[in-house]
Amino acid sequence: MASPALLMRVVASAYSVAEKAATIVRNVMSAGDLGIVEKAGPNDLQTKADRLVQMSICASLARKFPKVTIIGEEELPTDDVTEDLIEDGHCEEILKKPCPAQYTGIKEEELVIWVDPLDGTKEYTEGLLDHVTVLIGIAYGGKAIAGVINQPYYNYEAGANAVLGRTIWGVLGMGAFGFQLTEAPAGKHIVVTTRSHSSALVNECIAALNPDHVIRVGGAGNKIIQLIEGKASAYVFASPGCKKWDTCAPEAILHAVGGKITDICGNSFQYNKEVKHMNSAGVLATLRNYDYYASRIPNTVKESLVP
């Protein structure tokens, strides 16, 4: 039997690395000292979990795939990673699946991995644990083609004996796994948006969509999960605050199940290693009916957000 294609090996490793990350996230929380640092302000925080998880993910993947470009959210030294942070396992189930034909010839140096070690840091510090995700997105040719999202606290309200956490993954041309794909109720317009980064522009954009209901939660990964599990019909964020490591993994998973994500103006995101990190024209994502929402974004909003 031929050895698995590079892409499948990277995804299989990212899966195990994300599970290790979730354990680190839970351990930091249960130890009680989050080690919070303000980066750009009170809504832009970094914790000990962000730092340890990023070192774990980046060092683990770099050791196995040394020619892959890995870009993480936190600016950290890479040389002082202790051996207990390294995860060298992989998910056997993923390795057994055939790689989509268009990706079988990919070389290591052609891949870019975008890492958000703890998406929803502010919510993590406030105990809103179901908002928190670990994001590992894999890009090729500037496109998000595969992604892993771990929810360290999935199921945390289900009682003392609940198994905590789950890992969702997907590859374009193959589909996405680890959750039950569900569509939002037909005819209902449920918009999921930011919880802590609201603004007049964000609210003007949402009002123009005339939603039946607005859900305000933290984390881009969490918002995409709301779409693929049918809790929301559109994710709308008319603000420049989101970054490439927030959207790469969620985009791959959303696109793998037929959804669509762009900036507010309808442009696709690019994920090549030279690209700027900020998604400065915001985010518009849906599982279905993208055109309905895109057509209702006011021009004033689009003109305010320059890609």
Residue stretches of the annotated binding site: 73, 116, 118-119, 246
| Residue 250, Cβ density class (10 Å: 0-12 exposed, 13-18 middle, ≥19 buried) | buried
> Which of 167, 166, 195, 170 lies closest to 257, judged by CA?
170
Question: What angle do the packed helices 244-256 and 220-228 form, to 10 degrees?
Answer: 10
Residues annotated as part of the active site: 50, 121
- Which token pair is 127? 């105990």
- Edge-first strand order for the sheet with 166-171 is 69-72, 111-119, 133-140, 143-151, 166-171, 175-177
Q: Report the relative pairing of strands 143-151 and 133-140 from DSSP bridges.
A: antiparallel
Please tell me the distance from the alpha carbon of residue 174 to that of residue 35, in angstroms, as a whole number.
40
Question: What angle do the packed helices 6-31 and 48-64 form, to 10 degrees?
Answer: 160
Please state the residue numbers annotated as binding site for Mg(2+).
73, 116, 118-119, 246
